[in-house]
Structure 1
Amino acid sequence: MTDTDRLRRLLGGPDTAWLVRRVRRRLERGRPLTGTVTLAGAAPGQRRAAELLLGRRAGTGTSLSVSLTEVDRVLRASGACAGGLAGAVEVLDGPVRDLAREQAEAAAAWNAAFAPLDEAVAARPEMAEWRGRLDSSGLVRRLASGPGEAAGMLRHLAAVARALPAGGIPLGRFAAETCGNAHALDDGRPLATLALSCARAIAGLPFRADGGAGSRREAWAAVGVHLDELSSTVLCVGLPGDAGTATGRMLAAMRGEPVSLTLRQLRRHTAPMRAGLVRVCENPIVLTAASDALGPACPPLVCGNGRPSAAVWRLLELLAGGGAEFAYHGDFDWGGVAIAAAVRDRVGWRPWRYDATAYREAASGTPLAGRPSPTPWDPALAPAMAERGVRVEEEQVLPDLITDLAGVTRAG
């Protein structure tokens, strides 16, 4: 039984509101209503209200202390509220939330939302750090209103993760195949932000929530997805070309000059390209220097320009289809090693001054940073880089690379 009028006189006024709030917070957190609560700087009205409630002087001083056990006893004994202090708070201020239960239910709902993504990345160690960052950064929770909305988003993100890296596919088609909507990964959508961060993780690029158009294009291209057929390009020089196709005729006419081929051109070139031994480098400066030094006599050279784009992969596959063999050189840093490994996995190559011996002979004072990567083409290279601790960029060994290319020309 509750005598509501008496209860409001004892505990429902503005001068006891602080006490009701303190009790509610304790109940919401599952703490017992025992011990004492203290109000610093209590006003005279608050002190008189406590005295009326307890039936005795509330002491002196600037602070006011009230025993919760005593308040509970008074409310029960006076008939104001048979449910004691806990019941009184609900009568005066509405039902008390069970925060522990709510938090447990929310945690379970979020775990269920993330379950498809966790299953998709469980066997992919290269994605472990990214998955952890999704939690630590709170990115998903900022993009979704709650676990219910996040569940569908993360289910599509899991499909994206399973499908990457792709084999050179337009973004719209990739979105339709993985998310059931060709516009699901359009720039500005929450899922697109998450998918782009996933692509960065798979490509070994730094974690970030978003970036400019060029940054997004680079990240998607690195995992075989292109935003359009004209923005994805590849630089090459010295490819012999042919007389029977438009791209072949252009290459033949531009022999000795660097050429930029678009993915659109290469997709329409269906015949294999025949070029014998093709050297592959990481940086455009190598092509420029080779063209300047050797002109039309420059042997076939393709530039990955950092992370290979869809156009780079397409050109290498056309060359491989024509029987070409590849020799590879890149920067001696962990990012360069990861790029080299990706190219090796895709088309295979033999090292071109890209082994432990060449690394030790190259001069450099630039510190090596980043996470080590294996070098299966020369297992001694990775330990040598870790031990020496310096990076060597292609520009620093450019004379040696040009000498090698000139030697091919003279031998031919």
Structure 2
Amino acid sequence: MSGGDTNDSVAGGGTGGSGSTAGGGASERLVRLLGGDETAWLVDRARRRLEQGKPLTGTVTLTTATPAQRRAAEVLLGRRAGAGSSLSVSLDEVDRTLRVGGITADGLHEAVIRLRGPVRDLAGEKVAQATAWERAFARLDALVIDRPELSGWRSWLESTGLVRRLAATAGEARTLLDRLSTVLERLPSPGTRLGRLAAETCADAHALDEGRPLATLALSAARALSGLPYAGEGGADARRSAWAAVGVHLDDLSSFVLCLGLPGDDHSPTGRMLSAARTAGEPCVLTLRQLLRHEAPLRANLVRICENPVVVAAAADELGASCPPLVCGGGRPSAAVWRLLDLLAAGGATFAYHGDFDGGGIAIAAAVHERVGFLPWRFDAASYRAVPSSAPLSGQVRPTPWDPELSAVMERRGVRVEEELVLAELIADLAPKGRRGH
């Protein structure tokens, strides 16, 4: 018996006795020939082939056979089984022996089932499992078709295997991803508390709490919708900012907005705070809680928006009470920033915007422009060209509808211009009788 099947070669002996596992209909001769410890390796190898959908043909080899295993093969086949340390057995010959000897009508295939029980269809199980996972993602994939900004994130989910780590089975994954799809259908959701979003989409106010599988997936999708890295940072501030970028706040007090010179009124606590801060020439910090409780529009004419708090601090130092209305977005606008801008827009205000000339700054500006509209405040192509800089441009530059030329110029020039580099010019624009902003 020569010519081993290398794919079926193993070192060592069988897996133990199997006579006790023979079905009730197994004949004594079948058990004697293939049911013992010495032939267990051969039956196991045949069963493995059946499970994999392979035919019971060719040769299997045991690379280190004991004398007892060699004698068992000789009894089975009725002749010597060769010499040396390895033992090769032809499955075709075993099948023929079982059929001709009247031991099993269906040869080796029947023998394996009678000795080991029903054979699993591993190939079929694999196909069924793959189909189940496809169905698990079906609703999410349909949503991504309509939300192309999520296509890169969807590929990232696949490449990282994140869903399979969070859900043990395709069934669990389907439940998880269907809930995720319901959440994503609501995003962005300006001014919504996280607990309320969870309750309304999942019937569980804690479904989006930190550490929950759904929260992990939803937060990565929120980052994707905001142009942030999908994995992101793990700190509470980064998590709060990512949710805020899609309008969702963790609580009413952790979301706030910095402003200076906004006119207030005498009819509400928030209005009186703004009036007092304006008179004193001091910056005012308003929480989302305060702004949600202020239902009346805020009246103002032109309101300038900056990206960085340093502009507000410098304006307060140099202009004090004479500074015109100024709101700081603080990077990616929080729910409080959006609420304040909405109240000002409802009161008839118009806006002028300045921010950082880089990928992130343009993305923030685009979100503000889409929400409330603005005129560029030294935030156009001409202003960008006028500032010397050698810092490399970071991030992908989105279209700039307030000045379509700007994005093209930034791509060609390839440098970053931070807001602090033009701080003096911005303060001069804010000063009474100062230069008109670009």
Using the size of structure 1 for normalisation, the TM-score is 0.92
Match of 1:373 in 2: 398
Instruction: Tell whether 2:240 aligns with 1:217.
Output: yes
TM superposition shift of 1:390: 2.5
Amino acid at match of 2:48: R
367 and 29 in structure 1: CA distance in 2 versus 1, 3 angstrom threshold? farther
Residues 39-118 of structure 1: pairs in structure 2 closer than 5 A: 39-118=62-141
Q: C-alpha distance in 1, partners of 2:176/2:433?
A: 53
8 Å CA contact 1:299, 1:408 repeated in 2: no
Q: C-alpha distance in 1, partners of 2:412/2:28?
A: 81
TM superposition shift of 1:356: 2.1
Match of 2:7 in 1: none
8 Å CA contact 1:3, 1:79 repeated in 2: no
In structure 2, the gaps of 5 or more residues are: 1-23
Amino acid at match of 1:313: W
Q: C-alpha distance in 2, partners of 1:357/1:14?
A: 86
Number of aligned residue pairs: give it. Answer: 411
Aligned equivalent of 1:238, options 261, 285, 289: 261
Residues 206-355 of structure 1: pairs in structure 2 closer than 5 A: 206-208=229-231, 211-255=234-278, 256-355=281-380
In structure 1, the gaps of 5 or more residues are: none
Residues 394-409 of structure 1: pairs in structure 2 closer than 5 A: 394-406=419-431
CA-to-aligned-CA distance 1:91-150 (integer Å, 9 cap, x gap): 222221112211222222222222222222211110111122222222222222322222
Amino acid at match of 1:258: P
Amino acid at match of 2:77: L
Aligned partner of residue 158 in structure 2, secondary structure: helix
8 Å CA contact 1:39, 1:63 repeated in 2: yes
Aligned partner of residue 366 in structure 1, secondary structure: coil
TM superposition shift of 1:309: 1.0
Match of 1:38 in 2: 61
Match of 2:165 in 1: 142
Aligned partner of residue 257 in structure 2, secondary structure: strand
The alignment's C-alpha RMSD in Å is 2.3
8 Å CA contact 1:196, 1:210 repeated in 2: no
8 Å CA contact 1:239, 1:251 repeated in 2: yes
Q: C-alpha distance in 1, partners of 2:66/2:29?
A: 23
5 and 87 in structure 1: CA distance in 2 versus 1, 3 angstrom threshold? same
TM superposition shift of 1:407: 6.0
Amino acid at match of 1:123: D
CA-to-aligned-CA distance 1:33-88 (integer Å, 9 cap, x gap): 22222232333333333333333333333333222222222222223322222222
8 Å CA contact 1:193, 1:209 repeated in 2: no
Q: C-alpha distance in 2, partners of 1:408/1:85?
A: 99
Q: C-alpha distance in 1, partners of 2:136/2:63?
A: 45
Aligned partner of residue 351 in structure 2, secondary structure: strand
Q: C-alpha distance in 1, partners of 2:391/2:86?
A: 64
8 Å CA contact 1:366, 1:391 repeated in 2: yes
TM superposition shift of 1:29: 1.7
8 Å CA contact 2:144, 2:150 repeated in 1: yes
Match of 2:13 in 1: none
TM superposition shift of 1:2: 6.8
17 and 407 in structure 1: CA distance in 2 versus 1, 3 angstrom threshold? farther
Match of 2:183 in 1: 160
Amino acid at match of 1:56: R
Amino acid at match of 1:42: A
Using the size of structure 2 for normalisation, the TM-score is 0.87
349 and 32 in structure 1: CA distance in 2 versus 1, 3 angstrom threshold? same
Q: C-alpha distance in 2, partners of 1:95/1:402?
A: 82
Amino acid at match of 1:326: F
Match of 1:360 in 2: 385
8 Å CA contact 1:194, 1:209 repeated in 2: no
Q: C-alpha distance in 1, partners of 2:298/2:380?
A: 28
8 Å CA contact 1:241, 1:250 repeated in 2: yes
Q: C-alpha distance in 2, partners of 1:381/1:63?
A: 76
Amino acid at match of 1:61: G
TM superposition shift of 1:345: 0.7
Q: C-alpha distance in 1, partners of 2:333/2:197?
A: 18
TM superposition shift of 1:404: 2.4
Amino acid at match of 1:172: G
400 and 28 in structure 1: CA distance in 2 versus 1, 3 angstrom threshold? farther
Amino acid at match of 1:187: E
8 Å CA contact 1:2, 1:81 repeated in 2: no
Rg: which structure is higher? 2
8 Å CA contact 2:262, 2:274 repeated in 1: yes
TM superposition shift of 1:241: 2.2
Amino acid at match of 1:174: L
